[in-house]
Amino acid sequence: MKSWIPNFVTLLNLFCGCAAIICILDLRFIPAFWFLFASGWFDFADGLVARALNVSSEHGKELDSLADMVSFGVVPAMIYYVLLLLPVDLAPASPPAITWSWYAAPALFVALFSALRLAKFNLDTRQSENFLGVATPTSTVYATGLMLIVATNPDWAPYVLSRWVLYPSILIMSFLLVSEYPMFSFKLKGFGWAGNETKYIFAALAIGLLTVLWTSAFPFIVVVYLILNLAFPPPSSAKQPL
């Protein structure tokens, strides 16, 4: 019975992801952000609970991937889709009709490539301490950051809503999701400096960006993460059981 406790936490991740989609389609971007924040927390917590209870199952691993596909695959695709529908000079307070649009359809590439990413990760034996390609939560943080800028920063919102920003963001993130380029994870090798240099530098830069830009910081934090990985690529390693 206790093996279902981590699964329940995983289902909370899925529930919050579904709720975030509803909020995004309603152009309620701030509640969507908090649902996504909760999704990320539950995604982290289910593993902690499983280890604390000393339980593990193939069923739980598959359920975790299905929940992640919604929260970190479909959700960012919906964010891009809705942002592409918003005219540059239109605030979320004056919502357009959310309907099918061919020019917004490329946003769905993020969902497709997230599915490929998660399927690949489930079978890949090289990813434990670090990743190959961008993890789906990182892709979601970037998309969520664009959404927050539109919701909270009217001076920057027109730039974010430009198709010259959104289309390249979709294409680059889709490519990075399935790329073979090594990316560091946030697991620390102890608390010393040695072996954690890039992670500590990234943490310091992320805190600095949050302090200066606050809700507008998240896309820039992801860009810094990508630049650090390009400059100091980590080694890949064998994946251990979750």
- Dist CA 58 CA 71 (whole Å): 20
* pLDDT for 240: 38
Cα separation, 181 vs 198, whole angstroms:
16
Would you give the DSSP letter of residue 215?
G
The pLDDT score that the predictor gives to residue 90 is: 57
pLDDT value of position 242: 33
Predicted pLDDT of residue 72: 95
pLDDT of residue 124: 67
Backbone angles phi, psi at 130, to 5 degrees: -135, 175
CATH number for the segment(s) 4-231: 1.20.120
- pLDDT of the residue at 148: 96
Exposed, middle or buried: residue 177 (CB in 10 Å: 0-12, 13-18, 19+)?
Answer: buried
- The number of helix segments (H) and strand segments (E) in the chain equals 10, 2
Bridge partners, residue 183, by sequence = 131
pTM: 0.88
Contact between 183 and 177 (Cβ < 8 Å): no
- Domain map (residue ranges) of the chain: 4-231
pLDDT of 238 reads 41
Buried b (16+ CB within 10 A) or exposed e, 132-168: bbbbbbbbbbbbbbbbbbbbeeeeebeebbeeeebee
What's residue 94's pLDDT? Answer: 59
Per-residue pLDDT of the chain (242 residues; tens, 9 = 90+): 677 888 899 999 999 999 999 999 999 999 999 999 999 999 999 888 888 887 877 777 888 889 999 999 999 999 999 999 988 765 555 566 677 788 899 999 999 999 999 988 777 666 666 788 899 999 999 999 999 999 999 999 999 999 999 999 999 999 999 998 889 887 766 667 666 788 889 999 999 999 999 999 999 999 999 999 988 887 755 443 33
